[in-house]
Structure 1
Amino acid sequence: MSDLHRCHWVTQDPIYLEYHDKVWGRPVTDAQELFAKLCLDGQQAGLSWLTILKKQANYEQAFCHFDPRKISRFDEQDVERLLQNPGIVRNRLKVASIIRNARAYIAMTEQGVDFSDFLWQFTDGRSIQNRWQEPGQVPVTTPASDAMSKALKQQGFNFVGSTICYAFMQAVGMVNDHLTCCHCYEEVSALGR
C-alpha cells in the first residue's frame, strides 16, 4: 500500500492512512454520525486531526457514543468528570461545546428539522466533485461552509467556524477534495450522492 498516491496531508501513521483510505470523503447521511463528526471536528480547533483521531474511541465512550439525547442531559458535574478524563482534550470550552451542540441538535429535531437534511442543504443534497490537482488549490473555506457555519451558530451550535465546517464537509463527503492523483479520488467520486 505504501506505493499508492494519497492526498498531501496524510502521514504514514497507520491511523491516518486508515482514516484517509476508508473514511475521509465518503458520504455520510446518518444524522447521529454527522453530529458526532461535527463535534469531533470542533475538538480539533488548534490541534492536529491525528490527535483527535487517536482519541476518538475515548470521546465515543466519554460522550455516550455521541447520543445527543444523553449528552444533552449532562450537567456541571459531568463537565468536571470529563475534564479529569486523560483520554480526551481537557478543555472546558470544548467539552461544554459538545453538550451545547447536543442541546441544539435536540432543539432542532423537536422542531421537526432533520439534521442530515439541514447539513446537506448547503451542497444542495449532493456531493460536490472537485478536481483539485495540487494541494494549494484546495480551499479552507467556501461560501457553502460560511453559510453552514452561520446557520449552525444561529441554531445554537459552537466550535463551528467556517474552517471547521469545511473540514467537516470534506470528511463527510459533501465535497470530494481528494486530489485527482489520489488513489481514492475515483472511488469516492463514484460514491457521491
Structure 2
Amino acid sequence: MASPLLSRALTASGEPPLRPLPAEVAALLLELDAPPRLAAHLRAVHDVAHRLVEWLERWHPGLAVDREAVLFGAATHDIGKIRHPAELSGPGSLHEEAGRELLLAHGTAPDLARFAATHASWTLPGTSLEELLVSTADKVWKNKRLPELEDLLLERLVVASGRERWEEYLALDELLTALGDGAEERLAFQGAFPA
C-alpha cells in the first residue's frame, strides 16, 4: 500500500497547479512505492514538458514531434532513483540506466524507456528532438539554463522552420524565461515531500 504522502504528491494540485502524470506512470509509481519527492519532481518536469510541447505545436505546427513520447519521457526520466535514492538529494548518474531497466522490466516499450537513460546525454550523436525536449524540461523546471542544450534545440527549430536564428532564439528564450519564472513554486512543491 502506497504512503499517503506519495498519493498526495501524485494528486495535490500544487501552486501553480501541476498537471497529473499519465495514469500508467502514476500507477507504476504507486506499485513501486516511489519516494514522494520523486513523484513531486516528476510531476514538475512533466508539467514543464507539457508546456514546452504546447508551445512547439503553436509555434511550429508542421514540425513532427511525438508529443506522447515527450510527456512519458518527462514523467519517467528519473524513475531509476527508486533504485538509487541517494541521488534524490545528491549527485549521481546510476539512476539513468537503472531507470531504463526498471521501465523495461515493467513492460515499457524500449523507445519510451530510453528517456530514463538519455535525459542527461543530449550531446550524443543521434539525439532526437523528443530527447532534447525532455532534457530541456528537466533543466528549466528549476530555472536552470544550459546554453549548450538550448543551442542544440534551437538548431533543430531553425532547420524545421526556415526562420532566422535570431527569431527562433527570441521565441525560445521568451518561453524558457516564462517557464523559469515558476521555478520557485515548483521547487517548493517538490521540497514539501520527503525523499
Q: One fold, TM greater than 0.5?
A: no
TM-score after normalising by structure 1: 0.31
Q: Which has the higher contact order (CA 8 A, sep 6+)?
A: 1
Q: Name the structure with the higher helix share.
A: 2
